Structure 1
Amino acid sequence: MKIELAKSYGFCFGVKRAIKQAEKTKDAATIGPLIHNNDEITRLKNDFNVNTLNDISELGNEKKAIIRTHGITKQDLDNLKTSGREIIDATCPFVKKPQEIVEKMSSEGYEIVIFGDSNHPEVKSVRSYATTNNYVVLDENELNEVKFKNKVALVSQTTKKVEKFMQIANYLMLKVKEVRVFNTICDATFKNQEAIKSLAMKSDVMIIVGGKNSSNTKQLFLIAKEHCKDSYLIENENELDYRWFNNKKLCGVSAGASTPDWIIEKVVKKIENFS
């Protein structure tokens, strides 16, 4: 069986940047998991004494606080700034962009629509910058009962699919007099999604490696499953099952933006042993 890696996969710019910041800081605590990958979080804890807290209320004697890649709410950031701790802001620059857009558009009187998962930390952080009416949706039909005023601004969670984002944009343009559309989907997300689609279409089995709580990894899995029915989402090599590869000729492998190379390499090596 041949094994082929997607043309674009794994650590994105924002995650690489955050990992480097955490390794340099050491002896610190992150507000929420730094990234959505449990094995990498464990490595940072064991090798660099970087602890993970659920939120700022859990801060104790820590003198250094690292803001997760997904960002935190504006209120939590303001509270953190008054705590006297050293703040290391590892918020991905591509997440800061929608934060800034929402804050600016709200100040200009625009109602806000965010395409994303309302419970996702990135969306919570972005939404906290809105001072006008705001709505988080996964589908345009969720806006059917909303009576908008004259102007709306649309942004997206950075890891969502462009096609769905455009459907929501088109819906709003038919419903509201003035619509400002800001495509805040990360370019790395788009490239990874296109690459996995291309690979899945020709593969007999697909393995997607990443945190099961990772939005962008789940998106990759759904795209793979759409084009290759034998697609599997795993967090590490221990979840592989040799039976998945029986009578398969091509195994495609991709990974989420929070998946480090060392985990991907272990997965590939174990698949090679199966084949």
Structure 2
Amino acid sequence: MRVIIAKTAGFCMGVRKAMDNVLDAANKRERDDGVVYTEGPLIHNPQVLERLEKKGISALKESTDLTKSTVVIRAHGITPKRRRELEESGAEICDATCPRVKRVQSVIEKHAKDGYSTIIVGDDGHAEVIGLLGYTEGKGYVISSSEDVSSLPDMDKVCIVAQTTQDMHTYALTVEKLKHRYKDHKEFETICSSTSKRQEEVINLSEAVDAMIVVGGRGSANTNRLAHISANRGTPTFLVETEKELDLKKLIDFSVIGVTAGASTPNWLIQSVVDKVQAFQAKKVGKVRIFTEKAITVLIGSFMYIGIGAASFSYSSSVLLGIDPRIKFCAIATLFLFSMYVLNHFANKEAAALNEPSRAKLYEKHQGVFVVLGIVAAVISFVLAFTVSLEVFFCVFLLFYLELHIGFLLSQRDFPVLFDIIVWHRFQARKRYL
């Protein structure tokens, strides 16, 4: 069984921006003893929302006191009326609306002022569509397909837009029918390029595999569309939110499985699904192959391969420089880098769990062993460096010191803010000379 992961799977630019904004707001409010809310669910992924709630970030409720609070506008955007209400509440507003959605809002707002009625091809009741309707000045209509065109009233001039996660084929068919009915029209291609590429890849991938797994929240419109597109190609398709929902028995007869994910699905969820499929695959192969794959997993997961790479680099550099390769130098490079990677992993376990779930599980399972190995490797690298010369020992110690302090600085909440301030002032100073 072979697994092919779609290149476009996972967070899109808009979702990534929204996540960055809400986490930055949370870090800032934590220093001020404030609270962060999101105007509705930030994105349509229950697992991500659950993690945000653990950080004290939750969806805003009507009766909430917004004193010393920050309200993050969700990626889907909100209506102008709701924005004014939030501004009048006294809360600090952090706008995490996707830039692609903002463009659609601007198009609708401009044409509504020019007397156009707006037709939105999308999902009625979806958060993005509700927000877009707020810009139509009461002259907005939502249809989901070409079949709904006949239900629309007569209008003098219309502005046609799509929900940014709309199906490309559906939108094209609907627009053609709208053009025939409304002679005075303006049509805009507002489907996000990320959505288009994601859908195109699903079409191609679903034709090249035996089955497709789509990972994402069931409340996510773009995730459901990916599953729908794949299924319509005749490919067995399984929509799951997490690896726990995956029925491996249904995959047993498939040789090649494709995996894609919605725009609001984080990498760690995708990787968890892939890991489960690959673990199931391992049970179906011979013992030699199982042992080989486990050995490779440990080699990569434990950072041993980085140490081996460092030794190889040290050896080859010596040869190229015409210096006799010394085993001690290779050992120092191997042990030092291995120890740094291992210890840094434990210094930021939360990020590791999100970005590399399989490696995080390996380290969690053998935490004591890896901690001891990391410390022992560091000590031995210092001892070996000292036996070579004081200069080498000093270099290794300096690298260790810098690594330790740079890691500490980057982990501080104030450091990114301080860095931004420094860059901004340098930019302003430079502008004066331009």
Aligned length: 272
Change (3 A) 1:146 1:39: closer
CA distance in structure 1 between the partners assigned to 2:63 and 2:154 by the alignment: 39
* Counterpart contact for 1:205–1:228, Cα < 8 Å: no
- Name the counterpart of 1:154: 160
* Counterpart contact for 1:29–1:66, Cα < 8 Å: yes
* Structure of greater Rg: 2
Q: 1:185-216 CA deviation, whole Å, 9 max, x = no partner?
A: 00000000011111111211211000000000
Pick the aligned partner of 2:269 from 240, 248, 263: 263
Structure 1 stretch displaced more, 223-232 or 8-17: 223-232
1:224 equivalent to 2:218? Answer no
- Name the counterpart of 1:73: 79
Q: 1:214-257 CA deviation, whole Å, 9 max, x = no partner?
A: 00000000011112442100001110111121121001000000
Question: Aligned-pair distance for 1:133?
Answer: 2.5
Pick the aligned partner of 2:278 from 263, 272, 275: 272
* Counterpart contact for 1:112–1:132, Cα < 8 Å: no
- Name the counterpart of 1:211: 217
- Name the counterpart of 1:6: 6
Letter in 1 for 2:47: D
Pick the aligned partner of 1:131 from 124, 130, 137: 137
1:51 equivalent to 2:58? Answer yes
CA RMSD for the aligned pairs? 1.4
Q: 1:6-53 CA deviation, whole Å, 9 max, x = no partner?
A: 13211000000111111111140101100001111111221x321123
Pick the aligned partner of 2:95 from 78, 82, 89: 89
Q: 1:104-152 CA deviation, whole Å, 9 max, x = no partner?
A: 1111011110001111010000011111532100123322143423211
CA distance in structure 2 between the partners assigned to 1:61 and 1:22 by the alignment: 16
CA distance in structure 1 between the partners assigned to 2:260 and 2:153 by the alignment: 42
CA distance in structure 1 between the partners assigned to 2:59 and 2:151 by the alignment: 40
Identical positions, percent: 36
Pick the aligned partner of 2:65 from 44, 60, 68: 60
| Aligned-partner SS, 1:28 | strand
- Name the counterpart of 1:201: 207
| Aligned-partner SS, 1:201 | helix
Letter in 2 for 1:30: T
Whichever structure has more strand as a proportion of its residues is 1
| Aligned-partner SS, 2:208 | coil
Change (3 A) 1:182 1:228: same
| Aligned-partner SS, 1:144 | helix
- Name the counterpart of 1:166: 172
Change (3 A) 1:68 1:243: same
When the two structures are superposed, what TM-score results if normalisation uses the length of structure 1? 0.95
In structure 2, the gaps of 5 or more residues are 27-34, 282-434
CA distance in structure 2 between the partners assigned to 1:59 and 1:91 by the alignment: 22
Structure 1 stretch displaced more, 7-16 or 170-179: 170-179
* Counterpart contact for 2:207–2:235, Cα < 8 Å: no
CA distance in structure 2 between the partners assigned to 1:272 and 1:145 by the alignment: 49
- Name the counterpart of 1:248: 254
Letter in 2 for 1:16: R
When the two structures are superposed, what TM-score results if normalisation uses the length of structure 2? 0.61
Whichever structure has more helix as a proportion of its residues is 2
| Aligned-partner SS, 1:60 | coil
